[in-house]
Amino acid sequence: MYPDSISSADIVAAFTGKLPEGRVLAGNLAGIDYSHDEAYAVTPQAPVAVILPRSTAEVSTAMKVAGELGCPVTPRGSGTGLAGGCIPAPGGVVMSMEKMSSILEVDTENNVAVVQPGVTLSELDEMTSSYGLAYPVVIGEKGASLGGTVATNAGGMQAVKYGVTRNHVLGLEVVLGSGEVIRTGGKVFKRSSGYDLTQLFTGSEGTLGIVTEAIVRLVPRMRYRSTLLVPFNDLTEAAGIVPLITSSGVAPLVLEYIDALSMDAITKDAGLELGVEDSVKARCSAYLVIVLEGNREALVDQDMEDISGMVAGSGALDVYVLPPTADTKLLEARDKAHWMAKANGADDIVDVVVPRSMMSKFMEAVSAISEQFSSLVVGCGHAGDGNVHLSIFQPDERVRHDVVRALLRTGIGLGGDVSAEHGIGKAKREDFLDLTGTVEIDLMRRIKSALDPKGILSPGNVV
Ligand SMILES: Cc1cc2nc3c(=O)[nH]c(=O)nc-3n(C[C@H](O)[C@H](O)[C@H](O)COP(=O)(O)OP(=O)(O)OC[C@H]3O[C@@H](n4cnc5c(N)ncnc54)[C@H](O)[C@@H]3O)c2cc1C
C-alpha cells in the first residue's frame, strides 16, 4: 500500500512525532486485542500501531500524517463487530476511539444526545434513563460503541418498533481521509438541504470518514412492558404470522423468533424455566417472543390480550405470558445466542434480511439448503424485520461457502439483501461484490474515491 522504504518504526515515529504523549501504542501493546473483532472467518491482523486520540483535532492530525505516509487507517470502536470491519489492513494502523467516550449533552427539550464515538450503548442507556429517555437502538452486545453502531448501521431487537441506527442519527462530526473535519445535520428532525451526508456516513463501515461525534435522537422511556412466548409447530408457521401482528395496529417493541434447538440451548445455559409443558415442547420447533410496551398498564394489557387472541387463532400451540423476571432473563439469554452457537461449534453466522412477508418462504428454503448440503443451519432472528441470523455448522470451508452463498442468493431472490445489520466488512465482501449489481458497486467505488482519494480509510472493507 505504501512505499517499501517506510519501516514500521518510521510509521510509529511519524505518528508519535505529531501527537501528544501516550497516543500511540506499538509493538506488543498494539497486539492481540486490536487484531480482531468477533467475526468468525476473518484472519486476525496485528496493526503496526494503535492510535488513541482524545480529541477531534488529534484524529485530524493523525489522518494528515497517515495521508502523507499513504498509511492505511482502520477505525475501531469496541471490536464487537461480526464482519471483520475493524481489523486493520496489513501494514496499517488502528484508530481506536475508546478514549473519546464522553456523553457531551442530553438535551431534554429536543430529545437528543450528543455523544463521542467511544461511548458504549450501555453507558448511553444508563445516562438517558436518569432523564426518563432512551436511545432505542438496543443490540445483543451492549458494549458496542456509538461510533461502531453508526458505522455499521446497527439494528437489534427493537428495530421493529423504533427503526435502526440510521433512523436515529441526526448529525455527525466526521474526519475525512484528508484530515478535514466536517459537520453534517444537527438537532433537527427535518432537513431538505442538499445531499444527506449524515446518511451517507451512517453504515459506511469506516471507509468514508471517522465519526468523532454524533447527535442521536432519543425517545421517551416507557413504564410498562409485557412479554408473550408463543410456541409453534414449525418455523414457517411462526414466520407466517409475523405480518399479521405488525399490521394489527399494535406496535410490538420486540418480535423475535427462536428455533427450538436454539431455545433449548439458551434456556439451559441460563438455567431458565419458562413453564412450557413437555407435551408442547415435544411438538414445537419454533417460538415467537413478543414484547409490548406502553405508559399505561391497562393499554399494555389490552394489547397483550389482542395479540394473544390473534396468535392463538392462527396455529400457535399455546400462549404464555412471562412473569417480569423471566422475560428479562429470556431476552438476556437471547442476546447470548451468538456465544452459545460459537461455544457449540458454529462455523459461521449469516445475517440475511428478506421482506417480512417472505420469511416463511425463506425459512422453507433454509431447511432445503440445510438438507442439500448436509449442514446444520439453526438460529434466531429479528422476525419483525425479516432479519434472520443463522448459525452454520459445517467445518468444510468449501461446502460452507456454498451454503452461505445459497442462503444469500435465496434471500436476494425473495427481495432481501446480503446484510441487515452486521455489515459487509471483510467477512461478506466477496458475497456482497458478487451478488450486487456492477453499476451499483461502481457507483459506490466512485463515492469512496471522491471522499478518500488516497484509499487509506479501511482498505479491504466493503468495496
Ligand atoms: C454477542 C453479539 C451480539 C450482537 N448483536 C447485534 C445486534 O443485535 N444487532 C446488530 O446490529 N449488531 C449486533 N452485533 C454486532 C456488533 O455489536 C455491531 O456491529 C456493533 O455496531 C459494532 O460496534 P463496535 O463498537 O464494536 O464496532 P467495531 O467492531 O469496533 O467496528 C465496526 C465497524 O465500524 C467501524 N468504526 C468503528 N468506529 C468508527 C468510527 N468512530 N468512525 C467510523 N467507523 C468506525 C469499524 O472500522 C468497523 O468497520 C452483535 C455482536 C455480538 C458479539
Cell numbers for 81, please give them.
Answer: 463487530
- Ligand 1 pocket check for 121: Cβ under 6 Å: no
Cβ of 339: how many Cβ atoms within 10 Å?
15
Query: Are residue 69 and residue 142 in the same domain, yes or no?
Result: no
Residue 3 lies in a domain: no
- Whether the CB-CB separation of 58 and 20 falls below 8 Å is answered with yes
Whether 350 is covered by a domain: the verdict is yes
CATH code, domain with 289: 3.30.70.2190
Is residue 270 located within the same domain as residue 360? Answer: no
pTM, two decimals, is: 0.96
- Rounded to the nearest angstrom, the distance between the alpha carbon of 80 and the centre of ligand 1 is 5
Give residue 74 CA to ligand 1 midpoint distance, Å: 13
Q: Ligand 1 pocket, 421 CB below 6 A?
A: yes
State the distance from the centre of ligand 1 to the C-alpha of 27, rounded, in angstroms.
25
Query: Final residue of a domain: which of 74, 99, 124?
Result: 99
Domain boundary among 197, 220, 243: 220
Shared-domain flag, residues 256 and 275: yes
The verdict on 156 and 256 lying in the same domain is no
Range of the domain at 197: 103-220
Question: Are the beta carbons of 385 and 449 closer than 8 angstroms?
Answer: no
| 159 and 228, same domain (yes or no) | no
Residue 100 Cβ inside 6 Å of ligand 1? The answer reads: no
- Residue 72 CB less than 6 A away from ligand 1: no
- Is 248 part of any domain? yes
Contact 94 CB / ligand 1 (< 6 Å): no
Nearest CA among 30, 3, 33, 31 for reference residue 16:
30
Q: What does the pLDDT read at residue 92?
A: 97
Ligand 1 pocket mutation pick from 42, 52, 76 by most atoms within 8 angstroms of CB? 76
**146 domain-assigned:** yes
CATH of the domain at 169: 3.30.465.10
User: Quick one: 50 and 134 in the same domain?
Assistant: no
In a domain, 463, yes or no: no
Please tell me whether residues 188 and 234 are part of one structural domain: no
Per DSSP, 457 falls in state B
Within the chain, what is the greatest distance between any pair of CA atoms? Answer: 72
For the range 101-109, what are the long-range contacts, defined as Cβ-Cβ under 8 Å and sequence gap of 24 or more?
Answer: 101/145, 103/127, 104/213, 106/131, 106/133, 106/218, 107/187, 108/133
Do 243 and 303 fall into the same domain? yes
Residues 323 and 231 in one domain: yes
Kindly give the distance from the C-alpha atom of residue 79 to the centroid of ligand 1, in angstroms, as a whole number: 7
Other CB atoms within 10 Å distance of the CB of residue 280: 14
Q: Is 58 in the pocket of ligand 1 (CB under 6 A)?
A: no
Phi first, then psi: give them for residue 40, nearest 5 degrees.
-75, -50
Q: pLDDT 10s digit of each residue in the chain, 463 long? A: 555 668 999 999 999 999 999 999 998 888 789 999 999 989 999 999 999 999 999 999 999 999 999 999 999 999 999 999 999 999 999 999 999 999 999 999 999 999 999 999 999 999 999 999 999 999 999 999 999 999 999 999 999 999 999 999 999 999 999 999 999 999 999 999 999 999 999 999 999 999 999 999 999 999 999 999 999 998 889 999 999 999 999 999 999 999 998 899 899 989 999 999 999 999 999 999 999 999 999 999 999 999 999 999 888 999 999 998 898 999 999 988 888 889 889 999 999 999 999 999 999 999 999 999 999 998 889 999 999 999 999 999 999 999 999 999 999 999 999 999 999 999 999 999 999 999 999 999 999 999 999 999 999 999 9
In a domain, 121, yes or no: yes
The residue from 338, 361, 395 where one domain ends is: 338
Domain assignment of residue 136, yes or no? yes
Residue identifier of the C-alpha nearest atom 37 of ligand 1 = 148
Rounded Cα–Cα distance for residues 214 and 116 (Å): 6
Give the CATH number for residue 398. 3.30.70.2740
Number of independent structural domains in the chain = 4
The residue whose CA is least distant from atom 4 of ligand 1 is 140
Q: What is the CATH number for 82?
A: 3.30.43.10
Query: Do 205 and 234 belong together in one domain?
Result: no
pLDDT for res 4: 61
**Minimal-distance CA residue to ligand 1 atom 9:** 156
CA of 83 to the centre of ligand 1 (A): 8
Asked if residue 111 and residue 65 are part of one domain, the reply reads no
Mutate to test the pocket of ligand 1, among 59, 63, 139, 146 (most ligand atoms within 8 A of CB): 139
Looking at the structure, tell me whether residues 56 and 120 fall in a common domain. Answer: no
Give yes or no for residue 293 CB within 6 A of ligand 1.
Answer: no
